[in-house]
Structure 1
């Protein structure tokens, strides 16, 4: 397996600084001579930038975090399939995280996704705690709760009481 080059290695092979290589990749000013040196190294070593690493640094990276309590549930599977299809149609990339019904892991992954700079988070929450509400209040990332109501953000939940009344009246 061929080792991927780092920006540092490209800089060394090109005889320029890391910041110059960074400017090159971010379409900043680089002299034509230096540009040619960097392009020569890139072509020679078949360098391809890490799309994920570049994406998490970007403001509009098109990643949506999806946190679910389990992967072996018919309901969760259905939600994930439909969500995945819709996100892809809209040009987003879902990052799916399973918590195994562990609320501490759920909360930790909210923070992890925030650090990854995702554009949004869909949370199929086990339950809504004060920690969830605090995260929503302090985060600039939009969060959608599915299956639970969180007054601090958007929520989608079935109204079982009303559904029961409608079914009872129908019968």
Structure 2
């Protein structure tokens, strides 16, 4: 069905239908006639035609690093709930942690004139920095704090610091940290710095903390814990950058004959669903991932509304809640 045919059914002009679809001024009577005609016919406006008329569409590019992540799922749910309420649609792009795919999707979104982009970022590269700088559509980054880029991120340092304090309060003296690549500034670098700051403030030498880097997986936690036990068999406190890594570390510790938490305290971060369904229940930090998605979407919609107008670069840091369970 064409716009002209819809206009005939509604008894209005094509210009009136165009104004209705694109949010232009229109009397309430004509709006009701057009709305009724759309419901009757199931008419859907052509996105390409809308792009030619307005320079953009009602679509938001949502670029994520991987689909099989609890944090990504929660952030995506927050984003989509706000966009749907505002009449926008999310186009999901999964980069599978591939930097080149990330850049390609940024370019694709821009070339197809989406109204804006929300990107769940992992780490900054010179190529990504250049790509962000060259964008001519609004963008909000979630999960990382990038210089001069609107973003919503988390207090990873503070959460790691407070969790480590819980372990130290149990008089643990042989500590280890299982982290992730520090190209990921939020999860890798900031969480490691939080742990080290807590150790230092407690009066322990920073070099007394053993550090091992692992992939974002249970298996990665298993392997990293095996390496740590070879270095120091009497480890009595393990701080992990994620809950999945903590689950793997716990598995290895049990196989080594360690009692949890009697012999070894273990903590994770992210408050993954699995942490509350194992024995002992995992002590962790809850980050407000769904809220971060909601705030990112609201910030982007505000930027779209004010497109072209100068304004501040909003960078929002969200807090966390410690879930002090049984593993410390």
Task: Give the structure-1-normalised TM-score.
Answer: 0.66
Give the Cα–Cα distance (whole angstroms) in 2 for the partners of residues 56 and 100 of structure 1: 29
Give the Cα–Cα distance (whole angstroms) in 1 for the partners of residues 18 and 80 of structure 2: 30
Give the Cα–Cα distance (whole angstroms) in 1 for the partners of residues 120 and 114 of structure 2: 17
Tell me the equivalent position of 1:31: none
Q: Flag structure 2 segments of 5+ consecutive residues without an equivalent.
A: 3-14, 20-40, 170-328
SS at match of 1:145: strand
Give runs of ≥4 in structure 1 deviating > 4 Å: 167-171
1:79 equivalent among 71, 75, 78: 75
Give the 5 Å matches for 1:1-171. Answer: 51-57=46-52, 58-168=54-164
Q: Which structure has the larger Rg over C-alpha atoms? A: 2
Contact 1:67 1:97 in 2 (8 A): yes
Contact 1:137 1:152 in 2 (8 A): no
Task: Give how far 1:167 is off.
Answer: 4.2
Give the Cα–Cα distance (whole angstroms) in 2 for the partners of residues 102 and 137 of structure 1: 20
Q: Report the CA distance shift for 1:162/1:107 in structure 2 as closer, same or farther (over 3 A).
A: same
Contact 1:136 1:152 in 2 (8 A): no
Task: Give how far 1:87 is off.
Answer: 0.7
Give the Cα–Cα distance (whole angstroms) in 1 for the partners of residues 115 and 153 of structure 2: 22
SS at match of 1:162: helix
Q: Report the CA distance shift for 1:92/1:26 in structure 2 as closer, same or farther (over 3 A).
A: closer
Give the Cα–Cα distance (whole angstroms) in 2 for the partners of residues 65 and 151 of structure 1: 21
Q: Report the CA distance shift for 1:86/1:49 in structure 2 as closer, same or farther (over 3 A).
A: closer
Q: How many residues align?
A: 136
Contact 1:122 1:144 in 2 (8 A): yes
Q: CA RMSD in A?
A: 3.0
SS at match of 1:117: coil
